[in-house]
Chain A
Amino acid sequence: MVVQNGQYNIGHICTKQQCDNGLGDKVSFRWMPASGRPSDFTFTDLEIQSNKFANVINNLGFAPGDIFFTFLPKCPEQFFSFLGVLKNQVICGTLFSNFGDEALLDRLGDSRAKGVITKKSFLKKLSRIRDQLPNLKFIIVTDIEDHMSDDVLSYSALMANASEDFITPLTAPETPSVLHYTSGSTGKPKGVLHVHRSVLKQCATTRDVLQLGEDDIYWCTADQGWVTGTSYGIIGPWGLGVTQIHYGGMYDAARWFDILAQQKVSIWYSAPTALRMLMREDNSLYQQYDLSSLRYIFSVGEPLNPEVIQWSRKILNKDIYDTWFQTETGAIMITNRPELEIRAGSMGKPVEGIEPAILDDQGLPVAAGEQGNLCLKPGWPSMFITYLNNDTAYQQKFINGRYFTGDTAIKDADGYYWFKGRSDDVINTGGHLISPFEIESALLEIDEVAESGVIGAPDDVMFEKVVAFVHLHSGIEASKELEIKIRLYISNKVSSIATPQELIFVDKVPKNKSGKIMRRVLKARYLGLDEGDTSTLED
């Protein structure tokens, strides 16, 4: 049973409860740095280290409901701090380690975060925006020996003086827990707030969809900066006492398959972009690996095209099961899974307790087999409770009693769902949702740029790529150097994943009469399609 004695606290369930259930000596994760020797951490280690961090932030004066962020690449401190923060009933947000200044400012500023844990090389980004973050009281740095000041503190120094004992307060299911920011097509990113109750659905789907049991070795390649990295790289597997592999290196086909084979990974959860990159390698690479321990491969982030499934069947002799969820849902909602016949290219069928529907814009059912808005009946345990500081936007996600996901889909006669696209302009590149508004805003900060419009366009590897249309101020000439300046500005101010893969200099960015960028028109022009109704375009 995931929740015992009424204790819903995720930090407790992932650590102390596993120890109490007799798994204290079991390896909770094998840490495999990019270079150097692996090291094992038992559930007792996880309990002690997260307890110490819980005491650290308790001693610093954090109280339930305060907000703390991790801003780290994948590393053991990420897990200890995440779980320690939750044990305190402090809300834990996670930040993708490649976020630039603007992305950090949006998220830390909107949430009024009180603390962040990071590494020394990321301090420069934070220091550049620090004066705009009056609520940020503490920065804890994982790789400095001594405190740098009263508020830039050494992790190791703090942990050395912290007690190993921490009694997690009895935590009610509705207590806020994890915070992830997600992009919309307009406005700044919104903070998706979850509660500790989510552990029920995250563990249930880890068990019933990902098929994880206590003897499995599990590897989820997702970064902890995104919802998959927390829901299925921390909470689900450790809530069930499963041993994980966590690897600190980048994509490398040979290294990845070394890990799969040598670590005897039995369940692997990855992303279509990575799988498509693997498809591009010479197939002979895979013949040298013994994958007999690997039971199942799952995928998440963007639709898995049938070619990848066919490649995997032929080359790896394995099926790949595509799963669908989003930051707001907190856990897998619709999925392919081993007991279902795979319809290659489909999202699969809903998991137990989830009631999707295909509805029109008024919230009414469309005819069978027709495309419409993919909606969910509210009430599942891992459902978000609000967008932080923006409950109006949260309420707008519900029409006629159904949650509108922003995706469009169809349902076939056999009950399988098929993703068709987004109902907004959000770009899904490599499994990450990117706001065109965020990129357009950052582009306008570049002196030479007068107007900008950003769209997502189909891409063979990334599913969608970022394409930016830029109109320069008069007298400014387009050049290779300017293109590089723009690319690097976006990469460093927003994030590497937001970098335009194509930059197109134009004389004018189409807008409607009220000044709204007509991304629909830009996309049609880029794809060579009919531009549709252009009567609202400004002169």
Chain B
Amino acid sequence: MSIMEPLTNIFREVFDDDDISLSPEMTADDVDGWDSLSHVNLIVTIESRFSIRFSQKELLTFKNVGDLMSSIESKL
């Protein structure tokens, strides 16, 4: 199952930007408004929509969107 489409929709909703196109190399510096507080919004939304939970330790290992996608896929 590809999570790219639903994850893109979540990013667009969280950051209020319909033009966001995800790529594995993307980081917080590539998305306007992706700061530490909106990051919490992102994680909470992903957890709810995919019905998964991230541990605090996992959250610290995400360096880019690719890491986030791998973690989500491993939980589905």
Interface string of A224-254 (1 = CB under 8 A from B): 0000000000000000000000001111000
- Which residue in chain A gives the minimum CB-CB distance to B14? A488
CA distance A340 to B33 in the complex (A): 39
Q: Is the interface of B mostly helix, strand, loop or mixed?
A: helix
Minimum Cβ distance to chain B for residue A432 (Å): 10
Minimum Cβ distance to chain B for residue A480 (Å): 5
Is B5 part of the binding interface, using a Cβ–Cβ cutoff of 8 Å? no
Q: B1-49: which residues lie under 8 A (CB-CB) from chain A?
A: 13-19, 27-30, 32-38, 40-41, 44-45, 48
**Residues in chain B near residue A499, CB distance under 8 A:** 37-38, 40-41
CA distance A488 to B29 in the complex (A): 20
CA distance A430 to B32 in the complex (A): 19
Residue in contact with A488 in the complex, picked from B19, B30, B45, CB distance below 8 Å = B45
Interface string of A119-130 (1 = CB under 8 A from B): 101101100000
- Which residue in chain B gives the minimum CB-CB distance to A251? B36
- With an 8 Å Cβ cutoff, the count of chain B residues facing the other chain is 23
CA distance A487 to B38 in the complex (A): 9
CA distance A100 to B45 in the complex (A): 19
CA distance A35 to B29 in the complex (A): 8
Residue in contact with A492 in the complex, picked from B16, B18, B29, B48, CB distance below 8 Å = B16
Minimum Cβ distance to chain A for residue B37 (Å): 4
CA distance A277 to B39 in the complex (A): 15
Minimum Cβ distance to chain A for residue B3 (Å): 18
- Which residue in chain A gives the minimum CB-CB distance to B17? A121
**Residues in chain B near residue A430, CB distance under 8 A:** 37
Q: Are A484 and B48 in contact (CB under 8 A)?
A: yes
Q: Are A496 and B44 in contact (CB under 8 A)?
A: no
CA distance A497 to B27 in the complex (A): 20
The 7 A-B pairs of least Cβ separation, nearest first, read: A34-B29, A492-B16, A496-B37, A496-B38, A121-B32, A480-B48, A249-B29
B→A interface (CB under 8 Å): 13-19, 27-30, 32-38, 40-41, 44-45, 48
Q: List 13 A-B contacts (CB under 8 A).
A: A73-B32, A121-B17, A121-B19, A124-B16, A250-B28, A250-B29, A250-B34, A484-B45, A487-B41, A497-B37, A499-B37, A499-B38, A501-B40
